[in-house]
């Protein structure tokens, strides 16, 4: 355990990787600029990051191919080859979603993500070479390469798990936010701008208040669900707020995600104005 922990710390400290990370993440950001592309790859349409779902397919296919190699005998060769090809095919969308997610990270997560991507890309190359050997009838070296690929996929998976579970990448940063169920005063009505937003506080949490065209007041969590960006510093346009960190756009009246990378909506609260004060409570 300690050795793995030390290895992770060493990878997180690989500053020379930053030289390559920056131009690649810039190129990825340019490629995912259209909202449809961004929302599709981020899982905004799914309400959940897309990458973890997609990676299960090539990992499963390659794992099954190894099983056929071991217990399938001669008849298992064809099945193993088909599974390797299926894994290679489905690794493409898995890599695309991973790149999209990774492009929003900063060091040390970007360094771990770069090594994760390198391990999985190398694994894909090994599976491709394995497939070529198998087509030529060279089954034994083909098996050796695919098993080496599977070992690399395992290492890459460990790094991916580290990013999510140890570094909280792509988890919903509003998951534990809650406010009282009783009406609670958070600001004076006069503080609330007509066209902007106001960051108030309730029970230790930041709340983003705004006024709609009809004059109705709205309240959503001010901490971005994507990676915790401060929505109070974001720009308000057309009833939405844009996160200043990675550009997620949320509707101010109900917290719905309009544009990723966020995939979870902002928590929205009941809000009203009583006796010149803005009051909020959790939605019942
Ligand atoms: S923190 Fe990433 S879009 Fe808000």
pLDDT tens track, the chain, 284 positions: 688 889 999 999 999 999 999 999 999 999 999 999 999 999 999 999 999 999 999 999 999 999 999 998 888 999 999 999 999 999 999 999 999 999 999 999 999 999 999 999 999 999 999 999 999 999 999 999 999 999 999 999 999 999 999 999 999 999 998 888 999 999 999 999 888 899 999 988 999 999 988 889 999 999 999 999 999 999 999 899 999 999 999 999 999 999 999 999 999 999 999 999 999 999 87
**Closest atom of ligand 1 to CA, residue 227:** 1
Task: Note the Cα 195 to chain centre separation in Å.
Answer: 31
pTM of the model: 0.90
pLDDT at 183: 96
Integer Cα distance of 101 and 99 in angstroms? 5
pLDDT at 214: 84
Q: Is 259 in the pocket of ligand 1 (CB under 6 A)?
A: no
pLDDT at 1: 67
pLDDT at 106: 92
Classified by CATH at the fold level, domain 184-282 comes out as Rieske Iron-sulfur Protein (2.102.10)
Q: Is 262 in the pocket of ligand 1 (CB under 6 A)?
A: yes
**Closest atom of ligand 1 to CA, residue 173:** 1
Q: What values do phi and psi take at 251, rounded to 5?
A: -70, 135
pLDDT at 217: 95
Integer Cα distance of 226 and 73 in angstroms? 47
Every domain of the chain and the residues it spans: 2-166, 184-282
| Ligand 1 centroid from CA 17, angstroms | 23
Integer Cα distance of 35 and 245 in angstroms? 16
């Amino acid at each position: 355990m300690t050795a793995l922990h030390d290895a992770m710390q060493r990878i997180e400290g690989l500053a020379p990787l930053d030289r390559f990370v920056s131009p690649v993440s810039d190129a990825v950001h340019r490629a995912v600029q259209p909202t449809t592309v961004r929302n599709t790859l981020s899982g905004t349409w799914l309400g959940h990051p897309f990458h973890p779902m997609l990676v299960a397919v090539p990992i499963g296919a390659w794992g099954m191919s190894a099983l056929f190699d071991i217990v399938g005998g001669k008849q298992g060769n064809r099945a193993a080859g088909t599974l390797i090809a299926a894994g290679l095919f489905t690794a493409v969308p898995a890599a695309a979603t991973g790149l999209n997610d990774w492009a929003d990270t900063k060091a040390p997560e970007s360094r771990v993500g770069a090594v994760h991507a390198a391990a999985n890309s190398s694994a894909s190359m090994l599976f491709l070479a394995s497939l070529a050997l198998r087509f030529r009838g060279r089954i034994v070296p083909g098996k050796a390469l695919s098993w080496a690929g599977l070992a690399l996929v395992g290492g890459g998976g460990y790094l991916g798990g580290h990013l999510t579970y140890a570094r909280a990448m792509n988890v919903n940063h509003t998951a534990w936010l809650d406010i009282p169920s009783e009406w609670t005063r958070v600001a004076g009505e006069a503080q609330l701008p007509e066209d902007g937003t106001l960051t108030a506080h309730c029970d230790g949490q930041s709340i983003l208040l705004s006024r709609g065209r009809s004059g109705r007041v709205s309240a959503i969590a001010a901490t971005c669900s994507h990676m915790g960006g401060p929505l109070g510093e974001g720009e308000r346009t057309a009833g939405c707020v844009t996160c200043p960190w990675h550009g997620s756009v949320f509707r101010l009246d109900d917290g719905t995600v309009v544009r990723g990378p966020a995939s979870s909506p902002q928590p929205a609260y009941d809000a009203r104005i009583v006796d010149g004060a803005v009051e909020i409570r959790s939605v019942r």
